[in-house]
């Protein structure tokens, strides 16, 4: 049986290799995924990092998700915000249980997982040090723009994505930049699927000196 915290999230935790201090990657899958989906991606993005991978608690036609939606591209905002608070509580509990620092926590989300990670940034930006968001949409329009100056964010978008289109990605980038986040957008020459070039671009971004220095600050 996989661990379940007080918030009810089934999850996996993989400690950092060899006990060397490393960041923790918070892995958030897309619709229909589970806690195993992004483990290999996490290992590829930052070899040796600790991995904390969740399974979404909401079901849509039997498929796990992190929050409800009313239709394709139309989110249940009330549920999204409620689930975001659950995620924040989970992070607090997991940090104590597994002994990692949120100062070195990096969210890695794809599609539905990227959307709840974006919601977490909008509501609780200091829960993360950085984020890699593949195929993200604007989760909701915030009432206020918070201070994102400590955050580095990579947005992996698809030029021909019919779901997370350019207007959505550009809006996410604009809101984050308005709060002074360091934002990098990479455009994959394809659709909603994750490409090898996405992964390589994100891996190279995480390896940049400016990212490592921000995490070590």
Q: What is the pLDDT of residue 1?
A: 36
Please name the residue that has the structure tokens 């909603």: 192
Mean pLDDT by 10-residue block, N- to C-terminus, for the chain (217 residues)?
A: 64 85 93 97 96 95 94 92 97 94 94 98 96 98 95 97 96 98 97 97 94 79
For the chain, domain boundaries: 11-216
pTM of the model: 0.94
- Check if 192 is active-site: yes
Any idea which fold 11-216 has? Rossmann fold (3.40.50)
Catalytic residue among 7, 11, 53, 111: 111
- Check if 5 is active-site: no
Q: What is the pLDDT of residue 120?
A: 98
Q: What is the pLDDT of residue 72?
A: 82
Q: What is the pLDDT of residue 4?
A: 56
**Which three-class secondary structure string do you get for 43-107?**
HHHCCCCEEEEECCCEEECCEEECCCEEECCEECHHHHHHHHHHHHHHHHHHHHHHCCCHHHEEE
Q: What is the pLDDT of residue 66?
A: 97
Q: What is the pLDDT of residue 11?
A: 96
Q: What is the pLDDT of residue 182?
A: 96
Q: What is the pLDDT of residue 217?
A: 67
Catalytic residue among 37, 53, 161, 188: 161
The DSSP element (H or E) to which 37 belongs, if any, is: none
Catalytic residue among 11, 29, 188, 192: 192
Token couple for 1: 């049986």
Contact 134, 198 (CB under 8 A): yes
Contact 66, 116 (CB under 8 A): yes
Show Cβ contacts of residue 99 under 8 Å, excluding neighbours closer than 6 positions: none
- Check if 161 is active-site: yes
How far CA 125 is from CA of 33, 132, 176, 189, 194, in Å, comes to 25, 14, 10, 30, 25
């Amino acid at each position: 049986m996989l661990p379940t915290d007080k918030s009810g999230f089934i999850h996996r935790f993989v400690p950092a290799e060899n006990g060397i201090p490393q960041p923790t990657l918070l892995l958030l899958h897309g619709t229909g995924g589970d806690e195993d989906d992004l483990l290999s991606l996490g290992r590829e993005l930052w070899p040796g990092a600790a991995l904390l991978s969740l399974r979404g608690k909401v079901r849509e036609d039997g498929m796990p998700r992190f929050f409800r939606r009313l239709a394709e591209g139309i989110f249940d905002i009330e549920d999204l915000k409620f689930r975001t608070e659950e995620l924040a509580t989970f992070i607090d509990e997991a940090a104590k249980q597994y002994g990692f620092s949120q100062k070195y926590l990096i969210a890695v989300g794809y599609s539905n997982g990227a959307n709840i990670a974006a919601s977490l940034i909008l509501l609780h930006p200091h829960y993360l040090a950085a984020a890699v968001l593949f195929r993200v949409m604007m989760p909701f329009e915030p009432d206020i723009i918070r201070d994102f100056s400590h955050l580095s964010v990579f947005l992996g978008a698809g030029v021909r994505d019919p779901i997370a289109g350019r207007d959505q990605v550009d809006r996410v980038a604009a809101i984050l930049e308005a709060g002074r986040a360091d934002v990098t957008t990479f455009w994959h020459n394809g659709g909603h699927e994750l490409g090898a070039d996405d992964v390589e671009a994100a891996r190279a971004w995480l390896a940049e000196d400016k990212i490592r220095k921000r995490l070590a600050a």
